[in-house]
Amino acid sequence: MPEPTTPLIERPWEDVARMLDVDAALEMVLSAFSPLPPEKVPLLEAGGRVLAADVVAHDNVPPFRNSAMDGFAVCVQDIVGATWRAPVELPVAADVAAGQRRVPALEPRTAIRIMTGAPLPDGADAVVRFEETNALAPAVDGARGSVLIFRAAAPLDNVREAGEDIARGTVVARQGEALTAARLGLIASVGQDLVPVHRRPIVGILSTGNEVVPPGAALAPGMIRDSNAIVLATMAKTWGAEVRLLGIARDTVDDLTGKLDAARDVDLIVTSGGVSLGDFDFVKDVLRADGEVTIWQVRMKPGKPLAFGRIGGTPLLGVPGNPVAAAVSFLLFGRPAIARMLGNQSPPSRTIEVECGDDLDNRGQRRHYVRVRLEPADDGRLVARVAAEQGAGVLSSLAAADALLIVPEELERVAAGMRLRAVPLEW
Ligand code: AMP
Ligand code: MG
């Protein structure tokens, strides 16, 4: 372990040895959440959510043997040896289109014109594509009622068997799996139009601060506009939650208490601001009076102070007011909590390997989440370039960033060329 460069111990609240690291804090946050009860929703509302039960195929997909191509249904025995030089001529006995209910059987030494998705006639065992016949050529007089086949076929060429994609009785999607577009397609194709998923969590979002006014308000002296609420709300919605905006609380115990009381029925309250050591940082006092709450110093940057606990029975995550610290804290702790409520067994922690494009300092033994832009190099490497301004309040550099580069606590200096992990920003 590198020596601390400043005597942090003189300021007990800066004592890194007493701070939780990000992983320990996340574990404590996650232990307060479990999947919400299941509900059945229409397919269109199920995208991105997590299955609460296995889905079993009650039908085969495809449901019947059908043609994979536009062409001619034949019996392979009738076209043995067919080539471009020595085609086999067969009379065309019928046409079959997709969706056609009555399909004639194929008589020996005839062909049936057939379209993709149409049921294969009894007696046929292969389909020859139009491209391997003269069907695409202009009809010559007298040839209209027959087709020249230029190629021999093997049994089941261009034929899709019943149940080839999904056999009746198989599990097409499992409990705990996220419903991607393709999985929803499987569920639709086996005939289920309602899907059992975990209920979406409702996240209540409360901004705090005497200086904070809504985005549409005119600015009086000393005031700033609330950007945290929309940032946190958009993140929560992106991750699958429903959002309830709880407004802006003054820095008084009364106003905070009142606004939090009005939100007891949500699944998670997120407050921003008021969790540091300032004279008006009352969130912790309100929580202590009315629930169980811990204020932690987490060994991370930006975003050291973090409050977590319950008010009444409702989990509450208190992130710092500085806009970037608020967003990064919510990404690290709020996103996994939402994911767990949605039913994800292993909450998302996708990181990618990148190459550092710049030198960096990381004193203070905190895990540093550095705003970076990712620039693909010619050979496929992703090079992380530091976004210029890294202050905890500088939202413009977060807006410009593609990812957060993770500089581990114990790494004091990052040299350009090092390989580190990064959290892609997907919101
Ligand atoms: P706090 O954590 O309450 O000490 O706030 C830290 C900084 O973040 C202060 O400069 C606040 O003015 C600012 N801040 C607090 N809440 C918000 C908000 N909702 N939107 C934008 N900035 C905020
Ligand atoms: Mg404040």
What pLDDT score does 402 carry?
A: 96
Kindly report, residue by residue over 285-336, the tens digit of the pLDDT: 887 777 888 878 899 999 889 999 999 889 999 999 999 999 999 999 999 9
Q: Which CA distances in Å does 113 have to 74, 135, 164, 273, 408?
A: 9, 10, 23, 71, 67
Q: Interior CA angle at 270 toward 265 and 273, to 5°?
A: 140
Measured by CA distance, the residue closest to atom 10 of ligand 1 is 322
CB atoms within 10 A of CB 86: 8
Residues 151 and 137 sit within 8 Å (Cβ to Cβ): no
Residue 9 has pLDDT above 80, yes or no: no
What pLDDT score does 422 carry?
A: 97
**Residue with the two structure tokens 């989440």:** 369
CA 159–ligand 1 middle distance (angstroms) = 65
What pLDDT score does 208 carry?
A: 97
Q: What is the pTM of this model?
A: 0.87
Q: Which CA distances in Å does 344 have to 23, 151, 183, 196, 269?
A: 18, 52, 16, 14, 20
Q: How many helices (H) and strands (E) does the chain have?
A: 8, 27
The residue length of the chain stands at 427
| Structure confidence at residue 99 as a pLDDT band (50, 70, 90) | very high
Q: What residues does 423 pair with on adjacent strands?
A: 404
Kindly report, residue by residue over 125-162, the tens digit of the pLDDT: 999 999 999 987 654 444 458 999 999 999 999 999 99
What pLDDT score does 144 carry?
A: 57
* pLDDT, average across residues 75-89: 97
What pLDDT score does 4 carry?
A: 45
Q: Label the pairing between strands 403-407 and 314-319.
A: unpaired
Alpha helices in 138-295 (DSSP H): 181-189, 228-238, 253-261, 283-290
Tell which one of 224, 245, 329 to mutate to probe ligand 1, the residue whose CB is within 8 A of the most ligand atoms.
224
Between 279 and 418, the higher pLDDT residue: 418
Q: What residues does 419 pair with on adjacent strands?
A: 355
What pLDDT score does 364 carry?
A: 87
- Of 285, 350, 82, whose CA–CA distance to 271 is shortest? 285
What pLDDT score does 1 carry?
A: 45
Residue 3 has pLDDT above 50, yes or no: no
The lowest-confidence range among 6-20, 52-66, 280-294, 394-408 is 6-20
User: How far is Cα 136 from Cα 69, in angstroms, rounded to an integer?
Assistant: 14
* pLDDT, average across residues 230-246: 97
CA 249–ligand 1 middle distance (angstroms) = 12
**Residue with the two structure tokens 């202590």:** 288
Question: How much is the mean pLDDT over the chain?
Answer: 92
Q: What residues does 121 pair with on adjacent strands?
A: none
Spell out the CATH class of 16-36+200-341: alpha beta
What pLDDT score does 388 carry?
A: 76
What pLDDT score does 33 carry?
A: 96
What pLDDT score does 137 carry?
A: 61
User: How far is Cα 55 from Cα 40, in angstroms, rounded to an integer?
Assistant: 12
CA 244–ligand 1 middle distance (angstroms) = 20
Tell which one of 306, 322, 330, 396 to mutate to probe ligand 1, the residue whose CB is within 8 A of the most ligand atoms.
322
What pLDDT score does 8 carry?
A: 40
Domain 352-424, what fold? Beta-clip (2.40.340)
> In sequence order, what DSSP letters do the residues of 104-137 get, joined into one string?
PPPPTT-EEEE-TTPBPPTT--EEEEGGGBSTTS
Spell out the CATH class of 39-55+167-198: alpha beta
Kindly report, residue by residue over 178-228, the tens digit of the pLDDT: 999 999 999 999 999 999 999 999 999 999 999 999 999 999 999 999 999
Q: What residues does 375 pair with on adjacent strands?
A: 383
**Which ligand ends up closest to the CA of 395?**
1
- The values of phi and psi at residue 303, to 5°, are 95, 60
CA 209–ligand 2 middle distance (angstroms) = 4
Beta strands of 199-241 (E only): which ranges? 202-208, 212-213, 224-225
* pLDDT, average across residues 163-172: 96
Q: Interior CA angle at 210 toward 242 and 398, to 5°?
A: 55
CA 213–ligand 1 middle distance (angstroms) = 11
CA count, 13 A, side-chain hemisphere, 117: 4
What pLDDT score does 392 carry?
A: 83
Tokens of 76: 């392979």
Residue 72 has pLDDT above 70, yes or no: yes
Quick one: CATH architecture of 66-160?
A: Beta Complex (2.170)
Kindly report, residue by residue over 240-260, the tens digit of the pLDDT: 999 999 999 999 999 999 999
* pLDDT, average across residues 337-361: 90
> In sequence order, what DSSP letters do the residues of 250-280 get, joined into one string?
-SSHHHHHHHHHTTTTSSEEEEES--SSSTT
Class of residue 42 by CB neighbours under 10 A (exposed 0-12, middle 13-18, buried 19+): exposed
Measured by CA distance, the residue closest to atom 17 of ligand 1 is 321
Q: DSSP label at 27? A: H
CB atoms within 10 A of CB 19: 20
The structural domains of the chain, with segments of one domain joined by +, span 16-36+200-341, 39-55+167-198, 66-160, 352-424
